[in-house]
Structure 1
Amino acid sequence: MSEATTASEKTLMVLEAAMTHERFSEIVTAVHLPKATVHRILTTLVERDFIQVADGGAHVPGPKILSLAGIAYDRVDISTIVQPYIDDLVRRVQCTVHVGVRSGDEIIYLVRTDSDKPYRMPSRVGAAIPMHTSAIGKAILARLDDDAIESFVNRAGLPRRTARSLTTIEDLRAELADIRNDGYGFDREENVPGVVCIGMAVRDHTGHSNYGLSISSLALEHTEGQLAAMSGDLRKTAADITHALGGDR
């Protein structure tokens, strides 16, 4: 540990370690600080209700940290957090990029950022689209198990939006298997004729995939193979947004 490490930095290191390690010895090992220093910092954190010591000596989050976490989460503006990453992705792929969130059995667009192309996608922020006809929705569905997929289909149905929409659970299951293998899914003119997308799910701090992002284009401009070639850029942005939302890359 550098001698230049400040007292504030040491406190933050111990607090962070105490969020992921229960035992005093584990916390000491994680922060590489003297036991006496760690004990002194933990004592202060316990006194200030940031940490509690449970039965058996385990260190767990205290009421102060839980309260602050709730306040921080309520103040989170997803659109503001993701916008810089979306702007960068738009510059790299020169296509429209969407960010959506699952709301019940639909995807709601939270962000839409266009490229400099002369045309605009027929989408809008706040619009709701079926999960099974969108690249974002299918990427999120691919994270669910078979029972959850069956419940989704029984509950929401598979209504046809275009001639290319998936309308049977067998076709949906087959496509979700491909998405699990590839990490991304497609909208092959399944929601709007002439519009194609490649999408990927995004995890948040809970580890769940309730968000996703997609690159959208015209079928006349980009083939499925050309969209697939953008998957590396899409994957990087998804990982960056996952990290920004508190999830593991």
Structure 2
Amino acid sequence: MSVIIVFLLVIAGFAGWWLSHQRLMTKPWLEQGMAGDFVALDRSALPTAKIGLGVFLAVVGCLFALFTSAYFMRMELSDWRALPVPRLLWLNTGVLVLSSVALQCASVAARRGQIENVRLGLATAGLTALAFLIGQITAWRELTADGYFLTSNPANSFFYLITGMHGLHIVGGLVGLGRTSAGAWNGARPERLRLSVELCAMYWHFLLFIWLAIFALLAGWAATFIDICRQLLT
């Protein structure tokens, strides 16, 4: 239960930080200037697509928080045998970081109207995301080759379940990234393209955060952190 609370607090912190930058607390009746300027600003400050994506990511965060809580509860039973974390996951993590950085660069380029840099960033993000998925499948094959099958142990089942769910969300992100890339190459309107790239970057940064939390969980660092917090609170 404490794991869920900590995870939800982190998600709430990110959501609060993001919403604080969306002019939700502005008072337009106290602003000075042309009324049309503030109407346009308020309409563009918080697009409906960003609100929808934010809600979706909050739901996804709760889903992985439940997985994490179940992981911690299940590992306390006597039949739990933690499997070794493949070294390839370190490389996969670096690749996903690069993918997220590429999308951030594409987002900055979209705001500046640099279409060539947008295309480069989108292509880099897509290729590195595919490399991440291939690396995850390779890590699975290495584990099964060493005898760590899905049904051999509860720890194995959780490993494949959590990493598989994260991989499915990456695949879903690639669909959206493909549509955005098609718009970048087919001459989409700058405003629409900018929003699409920002949504992709927002989704990718979130998946990177989720993966870092998963990696810490599977490597045992999260359990150590929770134990330290419990000792400090007792």
**What TM-score range do you get, normalising by the shorter chain?**
under 0.3
Q: Report the TM-score when normalising by structure 1.
A: 0.18
Choose 1 or 2 for highest CA Rg: 1
Judging by fraction of residues, say which structure has more strand: 1
Judging by fraction of residues, say which structure has more helix: 2
Q: Report the TM-score when normalising by structure 2.
A: 0.19
